[in-house]
């Protein structure tokens, strides 16, 4: 694999790294995986990360000479300076597997690892970043006892969760015995993805124009094996001045002979993944605050506060933290905080300004409750500073309600927008 990356160091720590891993191959003279043999290898980064990085594996070569194999492959440890890759073979033989590995410390990227699974039911998982709506799927290892035809798919990806399916004809999916894969989530800017390719013969790709600060990746989503031929194929790359191309070959890698004998069908999506110079998300601004009061109001919530995104079904009424997401199409969102307020109580509204409207709004705002029971509605007009989903955390306590916003940039940041206290 050809690398064309300039490394950057910030405050003494690296934020990304990459490399090739080829220790698991028979040509090294020390590797042959069969009959419950196992091997672990540490891969050391070029310098230290400040936080534990995310690790992504992209297979570059499979050298499995038989028509059946049973092995596990997994990342067992990640530290600030290295990660550990482990392989163990139970049945059949693995003569070699190569990987391109990527390490990245960026809160806009989330890697979901599923190593050595033997149950292939549909699963739904939560994810933290509402703007991480693109994904990379990488099948990194699989075991089989016959002809298999499978693909890992993300059938749904929304602002809070994703659904993963292992699909394929049932009469061939039954011969898939274990599977290791990764799902990499990121914001739209991170991925530039092309059409999926299904390759079953020696293949040379068209040229792909280079994109600055991006990795060119060929992750596998699935395979179709005929149960007769061995599984022997590798990727190769050709880098030009402004573009690159790749090719798939099969054959005997010990003798450097390449033929089409063993190049069985694989599915992959060519894509670029950006790792540097990514646009930062920015916080909401407060445009205005409007207070209304109602006497002898009939409320439908038990606690002291209720928070609603106007025109949306999302509400927060329970004690503790509740997550609300403002839609990216809402250019003038209004957040309504409803508060119970009785005689001689005072509501204190504290605003955390981060915008030029600071001088036009009194801060803090005090509202005295008088006479009979009241319900106070405080409407906050918010100003998005970019088109994106806005992730809010509402924290309701008995006498206080806090509204914070969460951003995912190089680091995950949480900032208090305002809070309301009953005094």
pLDDT digit string (tens) for 249-282?
Answer: 876 555 444 454 566 889 999 999 999 999 999 9
Question: Picking from 173-187, 336-350, 389-403, which range would have the lowest pLDDT averaged per residue?
Answer: 336-350
What are the Cα distances from residue 52, in Å, to 45, 106, 128? 12, 10, 17
* Sign of the dihedral defined by the CA atoms of residues 88, 89, 95, 96, in that order: negative
Alpha carbon distance 233, 322 (integer Å): 49
User: From the CA atom positions of the chain, what is the Rg in Å?
Assistant: 27
Mean pLDDT of 348-374: 75
Q: Mean pLDDT throughout 396-409?
A: 97
C-alpha 20/C-alpha 11 separation (Å) is 26
- Given a contact cutoff of 8 angstroms between Cβ atoms, the answer to whether 175 and 227 are in contact is yes
Res 29 pLDDT > 90 = no
pLDDT for 404: 97
Q: What is the pLDDT of residue 372?
A: 64
What element of type H or E holds 204? strand 203-204
Mean pLDDT, to the nearest integer, of 77-82? 98
pLDDT of residue 25: 87
In the structure encoding, which two tokens stand for residue 409, read together?
A: 């940039």
Model confidence pLDDT, tens digit, residues 286-321: 999 999 988 767 788 999 999 999 998 899 999 999
CB atoms inside a 10 Å sphere around CB 282: 14
Beta bridge partners of 320: 396
CB 106 within 8 A of CB 66: no
The pLDDT value recorded for residue 358 is 56
**H/E element holding 173?**
helix 170-173
For the chain, give the mean pLDDT.
Answer: 91
230 against 9, higher pLDDT: 230
For residue 123, CA distances in Å to 132, 153, 220, 333, 398 come to 18, 11, 20, 33, 37
**Residue 44 above 80 pLDDT?**
yes
pLDDT at 363: 83
């Amino acid at each position: 694999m050809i690398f064309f990356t300039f490394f950057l160091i910030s405050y003494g720590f690296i934020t990304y790294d990459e490399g090739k891993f080829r220790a698991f191959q028979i040509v090294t003279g020390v590797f042959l995986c069969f009959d419950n043999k196992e091997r672990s290898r540490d891969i050391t980064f070029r310098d230290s990360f400040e936080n534990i990085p995310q690790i992504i594996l992209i297979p570059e070569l499979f050298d499995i000479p038989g028509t059946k194999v049973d092995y596990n492959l997994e990342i067992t440890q990640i530290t600030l300076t290295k990660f550990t890759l482990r392989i163990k073979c139970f049945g059949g033989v693995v003569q070699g597997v190569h990987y391109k590995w990527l390490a990245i410390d960026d809160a806009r990227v989330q890697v979901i690892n599923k190593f050595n699974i033997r149950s292939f039911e549909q699963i739904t998982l939560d994810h933290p970043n509402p703007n991480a709506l693109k994904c990379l799927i990488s099948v990194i290892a699989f075991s089989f006892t016959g002809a298999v035809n499978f693909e890992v798919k993300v059938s749904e990806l929304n602002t809070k969760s994703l659904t993963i399916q292992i699909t394929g004809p049932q009469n061939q999916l039954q011969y898939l015995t274990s599977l290791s894969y990764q799902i990499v989530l990121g914001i739209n800017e991170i991925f530039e993805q092309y059409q999926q390719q299904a390759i079953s013969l020696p293949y040379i790709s068209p040229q792909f124009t280079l994109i600055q600060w991006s990795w060119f990746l060929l992750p596998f989503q699935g395979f179709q094996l005929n149960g007769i031929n061995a599984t022997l194929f590798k990727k190769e790359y050709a880098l030009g001045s402004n573009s690159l191309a790749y090719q798939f070959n099969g054959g005997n890698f010990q003798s450097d002979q390449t033929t089409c004998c063993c190049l069985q069908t694989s599915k992959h999506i060519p894509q670029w993944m950006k790792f540097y110079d990514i646009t930062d998300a920015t916080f909401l601004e407060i445009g205005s605050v409007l207070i209304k009061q109602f006497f002898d109001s009939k409320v439908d919530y038990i606690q002291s506060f209720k928070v609603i995104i106007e025109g949306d079904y999302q509400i927060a009424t329970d004690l503790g933290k509740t997550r609300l997401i403002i839609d990216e199409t809402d250019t003038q969102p209004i957040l309504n905080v409803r508060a119970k307020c009785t005689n001689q109580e005072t509501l204190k509204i504290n605003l955390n300004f981060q915008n030029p409207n600071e001088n036009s709004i009194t801060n803090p705002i005090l509202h005295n409750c008088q006479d009979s029971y009241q319900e106070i509605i405080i409407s906050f007009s918010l100003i998005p500073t970019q088109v994106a989903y806005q992730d809010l955390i509402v924290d309701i306590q008995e006498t206080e309600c806090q509204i914070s916003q969460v951003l995912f940039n190089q680091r995950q940041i949480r900032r208090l927008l305002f809070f309301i206290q009953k005094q």
